Amino acid sequence: MILVTGGAGFIGSNFVLDWLVQHDEPIVNLDALTYAGNLNNLRSVEKDPRHIFVHGNIGDAALLSDLFTRYKPSAVVNFAAESHVDRSIHGPEDFIQTNILGTFRLLEAARAYWTGLETKSDFRFLHVSTDEVFGTLDADDPAFNEETSYRPNSPYSASKAASDHLVRAYFHTYGLPVVTTNCSNNYGPLHFPEKLIPLVIHNALQGRSLPIYGDGLQIRDWLYVKDHCSAIRRVLEAGRLGETYNIGGWNERANLHVVTTLCAVLDELQPRADGKKYSEQIALVTDRPGHDRRYAIDARKIEAELGWRPTETFESGIRKTVQWYLDNSDWVENVTSGSYRNWVEKQYA
């Protein structure tokens, strides 16, 4: 049994679905079902006895203690987090609660459980983090590697950095067998349409404007979510304890390029009824405060040590993603009803 947290969110649910195809080991999936968590993501494994869903919070010490005692997991994979930078700017409190305090409670529960294990090498704690903890790069700076100092700039990245430091400290202080991954921007199926790629696909199809912050020349490295999941499985299997592994797609792209690529793929797969191009919907809007200019990942360590490389190129992954959104309009309809609709209608009317 492995304990996955946040397994109803974007990356976590992709991980759960892939895991159940690749492995026999069952999963207990702990998720608080915030606005970003969605049981529809897990519909295909609803009746699979190898998937046990628990609705709860990683900050709930009593629940965690019960789960560890009951399920005796061989590993924890911690995805649970508040994950959207813009939301962290408007309201950082939940980020502190979940990303810092929640991770702390999870570490404490894991430590208590692991301390009582007879064979201590039978357990590991994998903490899923982000490249955003490294801060921002100039155009000619080398990519982030595992030695790059932490310089988080948003409340989101600062909260993730704090959690990464706690994970590191639990290894050095208590010997808890941990490993941390720092990944670049993910995209793919089941992505909540508040982040750039799913938001642009959704807005394009709805005839809404496609908001690009500032000059649109900020750069991110993009990784197809299934490649992130395979990297996590590989690190879980063979990563060295106490180490960190950067995960990236070798796909640095400016936001404007990302959006025009999405528009071109949509023009091809689902042309606008009026014959115009989706790129006509692009609108440059006020920049995000403190907007990091460039992220880039040097993923050579995971490749050299663990033999992992991404399988999708940016172009192949984007095409699959657009196709997935076109084929799954009921999923989109479901996640964009209710509070999302009020929120988005205010912003992108």
CA angle 228, 86, 11 (to 5 degrees): 20
Helix orientation angle between 314-327 and 255-269, rounded to the nearest 10 degrees: 50
User: Is position 213 an interface residue for ligand TYD (rule: CB under 6 A)?
Assistant: yes
Residues 72-111 that bind ligand NAD (CB under 6 A): 79-83, 98, 102
Strands of the 252-254 sheet, one edge to the other: 185-187, 219-224, 252-254
What dihedral angle (degrees, nearest 10) is formed by the CA atoms of 190, 191, 193, 195?
A: 180
User: Is position 33 an interface residue for ligand NAD (rule: CB under 6 A)?
Assistant: yes
The sign of the CA dihedral 10, 14, 19, 25 is positive
Instruction: Report the C-alpha gap between 201 and 131 in whole angstroms.
Output: 24
Q: Given 82, 131, 194, 298, which residue is catalytic?
A: 131
Q: Given 31, 82, 113, 132, which residue is catalytic?
A: 132
Q: Strands 219-224 and 252-254, how do they pair?
A: antiparallel
Of residues 73 and 82, the one with the C-beta less far from ligand TYD: 82
Contact window for ligand TYD (CB under 6 A) among 61-69, 208-216, 241-249, 296-304: 208-216
Of residues 148 and 281, the one with the C-beta less far from ligand NAD: 148
Of residues 33 and 112, the one with the C-beta less far from ligand NAD: 33
Contact window for ligand NAD (CB under 6 A) among 2-10, 235-243, 283-291, 322-330: 2-10
The answer to whether 10 and 42 are in contact (CB under 8 A) is no
- Residue 113, beta-bridge partner list: none
Minimum distance from residue 196 beta carbon to ligand TYD (Å): 4
Contact window for ligand NAD (CB under 6 A) among 34-42, 64-72, 142-150, 274-282: 34-42
Select the residue interacting with ligand TYD from 162, 212, 235, 282 (CB under 6 A). Answer: 212
Select the residue interacting with ligand TYD from 3, 11, 167, 199 (CB under 6 A). Answer: 199
- Whose CA is closest to 80, among 56, 62, 48? 56
Q: Strands 27-31 and 2-5, how do they pair?
A: parallel
Site residues (vs ligand NAD, CB under 6 A)? 5-6, 8-12, 30-34, 36-37, 57-59, 79-83, 98, 102, 128-130, 160, 183, 185-186, 192
Catalytic residues: 131-132, 156
Site residues (vs ligand TYD, CB under 6 A)? 85, 185, 195-196, 199, 211-213, 218, 220, 255, 288
